[in-house]
Amino acid sequence: MTNKKTGRTAILAVVLAGLVLFAACASAPAGERKKVVKMGYMACLTGPASAVMQGGWRNTVDYLRYFKEVGVPGLSLPPGVTVELVWGDTGMEGPRAISIYERTYKDVVYFHVPDPISAHALKSRLERDSMPAMTLAVDEVLMYPPSSIFSIFPTESERFAAVCDWIMEDWKEERPPRVGMMGTDTPAGRAAEVMGTAYAKSIGIEMLPFEVVPYLPLDVSPQLSRLTEGGADFIYLQCVWATAIPIMKDAERLGLIGRIRFGGGVEDTQSVELIEALGPAAEGYFHARACPWYEETPVLHDILRQYQGRLDTSGGAASVLLYVPVSIEAIRIAIEQAGYENLDCRTVKEAMYSIKNFDPHHTGRSVSYTREDHRGAPKLRIYQVQNGKVVPVTDWREAHMLVP
What would the pLDDT profile of 251-276 be if each residue is shown by its tens digit? 999 999 999 999 999 888 899 999 99
Which residues of the chain have a pLDDT value below 50? 1-29
Are residue 220 and residue 77 in the same domain, yes or no? Answer: no
Are residue 56 and residue 15 in the same domain, yes or no? Answer: yes
pLDDT of amino acid 304? 79
pLDDT of amino acid 32? 55
pLDDT of amino acid 307? 81
Tell me the CATH number at 196.
3.40.50.2300
Domain ranges, residue 254: 156-289+380-398
pLDDT of amino acid 281? 97
Helices (H), 203-319: 221-229, 241-253, 272-278, 299-308
pLDDT of amino acid 33? 67
- CA 239 – CA 243 distance, rounded (Å): 6
Residue 120 resides in a domain? yes
Residue 404 resides in a domain? no
Are residue 96 and residue 168 in the same domain, yes or no? Answer: no
Are residue 270 and residue 179 in the same domain, yes or no? Answer: yes
- pTM, two decimals, is 0.89
Task: With CA atoms as reference, report the closest residue to 282 among 291, 295, 293, 269.
Answer: 269
